[in-house]
Chain A
Amino acid sequence: MATVNEDVFFAGIADLTKALRAREFSAVELAHAFCARLEKLGPRYNALACSLKKLAIRQAKNADEEIRRGRYRPLQGIPYGVKDLIAVAKYPTTWGARPYAAQVFEENATVVNKLNKAGAVCIGKLAMVELAGGGGYRYASASLTGPGLNPWDRARWSGGSSSGSGIAVAAGLVTFALGSETSGSILTPSAFCGVTGLRPTYGLVSRHGCMALSWTLDKIGPMCRSAEDCGLVLQAISGGDYEDPGSGGRSFYYSPRFARPAKDLVIGYAPADFEEWAEPSARPDLQGALAAVKSMGARMKEVELPDFPYGAILSTVLNGEMGSVFEKLIRSGRVNELADKRQIAGLKASLDLPASEYLKAMRARALVQEAIRRLFLDVDLLLAPSRMGPAPKITDRLDAPPARERPKSRGLNGIIPMGNLVGYPALSLPCGFAEKMPVAISFVSRPWFENQLIALGVEFQSRTDWHKRRPPAA
């Protein structure tokens, strides 16, 4: 049996594909090595919900057989994991929550079927914040598997709600993972764990077979080692699906060579984000990233987000839809089995939201959509820090009010709820460190513009090496 060295756990999809096709190791050997690592290190970070070793070895055998016959698929033999709100047939899908600990679905989610078709090897279900944190949670421990521990420092949080997905990619437990985002759940763990995360345009990736939290906000997306890997995975999982009422009926073909070069783009940003909103410890590397983007030759334009209460609009939409999704759980009293008291209270309160408030928020959302559409007439992309600082400590209160005074300039503050309200795609790229923890920048583009977004990410990552750094413990 060929030995799989440490570098393989941190290799990108193209390098692994090359090695598999050159028979440097087999897909079965690769799956064995990754499964052993995931089972050993996953629990150390509270990242593993369920190992799928048996399934993985079966899929890897198929991959080897096809490679032997010269039949190639785009993600053949590549080990990956999915957030535990994505159904894998006949294995537990807990949604990270005690009331659903024994839940098993008979069918795969559409994205899992698509990855099967692409030849990828599913090695594990990855931990998450309970019910994707929709009720609002106070502590990182709001999960069936405990707090997501950051591979860069286990005393810090991984971010959520796609905690296990961020951890597993950062620690080299999988080559890529799928996460989901309703408001920040891909971008935040990607930023805190130092991986590259893509939130696709709403409707580009099917959510059939995935837990619903908010029908008009939920998206499924890849979390990977690089922007290029995000493109390869997005191509495999995107596409119309009649089973998903929110499906946009569009596919995505990763073709960065047709994207415009950076010098032909106008990138909107707000200096206040990097100079005032960012935590002091994060400013040097965030400003360094801004300088790196400027050096790519794009025209930089100072902008501010239109004045809307993005967080309040999003929370109201989310409360209205989440209350309906989980009404049975809440009324049955089983909601009390959740780990986080604030989350329980938030879910219960959601049932009291008047219909008029939900409608008001959806009407305000229509105004937001129009205002952002107009903003994007002047810029091709927006650039901002993914998060204003590094990951908080595991014991920190996540809902504590900010310790610092609010800057006068609005900047692009609220870009995460804004981007989710309008359904635009975003890409988070590691760009340095603060307090020895990763920090990241995000680009947001207009809808269906993923090739441009990824091409810019590839260019940024060709000039920097932050995405190649490995956590010391891993």
Chain B
Amino acid sequence: MAVTRREWAGIVVAAAAEAAGAPQQADEETRSAREAMEENARQLDGVPLPMSAEPAFSFKP
């Protein structure tokens, strides 16, 4: 099958756009995941923790 120069150009541009878009999307996802962690931290800051509150390490219900 013959591919015209115009079609080749289209394929190259589309591939470049996809390659440029993928990291951008990944960055966005990472930022959103970090923001979720920051939101968790913000909510945790609202819990008053007395010094006597030890971590639930030896976890038994």
Contact = CB atoms under 8 A, between A and B. Distances in A.
A312 B54 contact: no
A135 B44 CA distance: 19
A357 B49 contact: no
A248 interface: yes
A362 B32 contact: no
Interface stretch (B1-9, B12-20, B35-43): B35-43
Interface in B8-61: 25-26, 29-30, 32-34, 36-37, 39-41, 43-44, 46-47, 49, 53-57, 59-61
A341 interface: yes
Contact of A423 (B37, B47, B61): B61
Contact of A357 (B44, B56, B61): B44
Contact of B61 (A313, A319, A362, A422): A422
Contact of A345 (B33, B40, B53): B33
Interface stretch (A226-234, A348-356, A459-467): A348-356
A344 B49 contact: no
Given A308-B47, A357-B44, A348 B56 contact: no
Nearest to A421: B56
Contacts of B55: 359, 362-363, 365-366
Given A341-B29, A364-B47, A364-B49, A424 B39 contact: no
B30 A349 contact: yes
A49 interface: no
A362 B47 CA distance: 12
Contact of A363 (B32, B34, B36, B54): B54
Nearest to B55: A362
Contacts of A313: 40, 44, 47
A367 interface: yes
Nearest to A248: B60
Interface string A299-314: 0000000001101110
B43 A309 contact: yes
Interface string A234-259: 00000000000010100000000000
Nearest to A425: B61
Contact of B30 (A309, A348, A363): A348
Nearest to B59: A216
A349 B44 contact: no
Interface residues of A, number: 40
Given A341-B26, A365-B56, A309 B61 contact: no
A116 interface: no
Contacts of A203: 60-61
A183 to B, nearest CB: 13
Nearest to A308: B47
B61 A312 contact: no
A135 B32 CA distance: 12
Interface string A32-58: 000000000000000000000000000
A279 B48 CA distance: 33
Contacts of B33: 135-136, 342, 345-346, 348-349
A447 interface: yes
Nearest to A424: B61
Contacts of A202: 59-61
A117 to B, nearest CB: 26
B61 A352 contact: no
A313 B42 CA distance: 11
A292 to B, nearest CB: 29
Contacts of A361: 40, 44
B41 A316 contact: yes
A422 B61 CA distance: 6
A447 B60 CA distance: 10
B56 A349 contact: no
A367 B46 CA distance: 13
A287 interface: no
A359 B49 CA distance: 11
Interface string A199-218: 00111000000000000100
A357 B41 CA distance: 7
Contacts of A357: 37, 40-41, 44
Given A136-B36, A201-B61, A308-B47, 13 more contacts: A135-B33, A203-B60, A309-B46, A312-B43, A319-B37, A345-B29, A345-B33, A348-B30, A349-B36, A357-B41, A357-B44, A360-B44, A369-B56
Interface of A: 135-136, 201-203, 216, 246, 248, 308-309, 311-313, 315-316, 319, 341-342, 344-346, 348-349, 352-353, 357, 359-367, 369, 422-424, 447
Interface of B: 25-26, 29-30, 32-34, 36-37, 39-41, 43-44, 46-47, 49, 53-57, 59-61
5 contacts: A345-B32, A348-B30, A360-B47, A364-B47, A366-B56
The 10 A-B pairs with the shortest beta carbon distances in the complex, nearest first, are A423-B61, A362-B55, A345-B29, A309-B43, A312-B43, A349-B33, A447-B61, A345-B33, A312-B40, A366-B56
